[in-house]
Chain A
Amino acid sequence: MEPLVTVGGFAFPEPATYDATTSTIVDAGRNVSGVTVGSVVRHDVAKIELTWRYLTADQWAAILSCFTETFYNNVKFLNQATNAYTTRTMYVSDRSAGMWRRDPDSGKVMGWTNCSLSLVER
């Protein structure tokens, strides 16, 4: 099965939720009658929000490592606007997760819950 999201060639694990936003950027203002007038600045700017209920510590670290060196990445994702896979240059939001538990013997983190990040088209 095609992964929903691939960043720089690394296929992300299947997320628990996948929310897609497609924006039209508009430079808008109110005319002298108070009616909005505007101009399209850019069409179909994509944003995807991903969450995972649980990821192992290694999985989450592998995902985060995609963004350690590069802020902008080539992201292949399912584009809701075309219902097809598209590759766009995107940047990443804050990445957050809650620690699940540590191994009582080794002290290693065993996993993370409610992991989330967003990718926004450049």
Chain B
Amino acid sequence: MISVSPAWQTAQLDHLAPEGFVEISFAGSTFSKNDLLSFTHTQAGCMNSGELPKNSIEFTLDNSDDRWNPNNPDGIGQYLSERQKLIVRYGFDINGTIEWINAGTFFLSEWRTPANGFEATFVARDVLEYMLEEPYTGITSGTLREIAAAALEQANTPDGVAFDIDPRLDNYTISFENIGYKIAEILQMCANAAMCVMYQDRDGVFRITSAAQVFSGYNITPNFSYTHPEFELSKPLKAVKVAYGDGLQYTMESGGTGETQTVNNPMIGTIDQASSVARWVEGTLKSRKNLSGDFRADPRLDVFDKVKVESKYGVINAVVITEIKYSFAGSFRATYKGRITGFDPVYAGYCGELFAGEVT
């Protein structure tokens, strides 16, 4: 979670939050709340890297003057291009001065400028935009860190995009058959096999890192919640089966009944690694409680942050955010989903399906 001033934090405790701001810089211009007709920012992630993370924004701008129409010779729409870089920041009026925080770096993925409409809609997402479609052609043996680095190098991301790969990826050496995996899939499998999560942070750094969590200090209280948190109980976990090596499988029994989670990840090569992954996956799925809610947002909460949520019946101390969606229509609101991590604070999260995993 991004840090802010004490004055910011104090202001957020008031029943009337100060005026909020969103600023988007791209296409050589900066667009403020005066230009925005709508704005949403969604972050989603899986604590055991069973699904690709997503950090994306969607917003609409006034197009009543047709400036975004690509066919308008005097417009600026003709200068739009895919993967154009967008810098977004959030602010609050703190005692007469706007305090800004980074919201993220994004890359334009699509835009819609209906000829008969008055709005132009833009969608942008994190640096995975560069990695979703292109097949990986790099090395097929080496440490997970070397493979991940080769994938990132092939992605040919723009200047200024930084990467941070956890040293624990050096601990595992693997040789695998590349059956046409996409670059993003390679990174996802490396993260999963090293028991890491991956995401792009607000400074634009793409990280593959440990899922170890510490309490972020963020508290979702009833004072600022528009609804009580909704709880949902997933099915109990019966066992975790992890494929490894050449057609081998490691099975970890977890409970008498329930679902069996299967992990098929070609980056898992040994039984030791498979058992570690099985324990890790079990940790993420053992706690069955998920919750969701909506609240007046202080937009510094990120996916994978560990927060407190106050329910009708007390404080839940360890909720890992697995999805957070901010909307801005002059002020910030958010919906969130999280996983209660009562089982083991290190292993947290939720994922329904791992790669080609089968739930039986």
- Chain A residues in the interface with B (C-beta under 8 A): 25-27, 29-33, 35-43
Contact = CB atoms under 8 A, between A and B. Distances in A.
Q: From DSSP, what is the main secondary structure of chain A's interface residues?
A: strand
Nearest to A32: B222
Interface residues of B, number: 20
B20 interface: yes
Nearest to B14: A37
Contact of B226 (A25, A32, A40): A32
Contact of B333 (A26, A27, A36, A43): A27
Contacts, number: 59
Interface stretch (B69-77, B324-332, B343-351): B324-332
B16 A40 contact: yes
A42 B228 contact: no
Which has the most chain B C-beta neighbours within 10 Å: A30, A38, A39, A43? A39
B226 A38 contact: no
Contact of B18 (A27, A32, A40): A40
A32 B227 contact: yes
Given A29-B296, A32-B228, A41 B330 contact: yes
A27 B297 CA distance: 12
Which has the most chain A C-beta neighbours within 10 Å: B223, B224, B228, B331? B331
A35 B224 CA distance: 9
A27 B226 contact: no
Interface in B1-25: 15-20
Nearest to B310: A32
B225 A39 contact: no
A108 B226 CA distance: 60
Contacts of A27: 329-331, 333
Contact of A40 (B19, B222, B223): B19
Contacts of A30: 226
A30 B92 CA distance: 22
Nearest to A39: B331
A29 B226 contact: yes
Contacts of A32: 222, 225-228
B16 A39 contact: yes
A35 to B, nearest CB: 7
Contacts of B16: 26, 37-40
Nearest to B293: A32
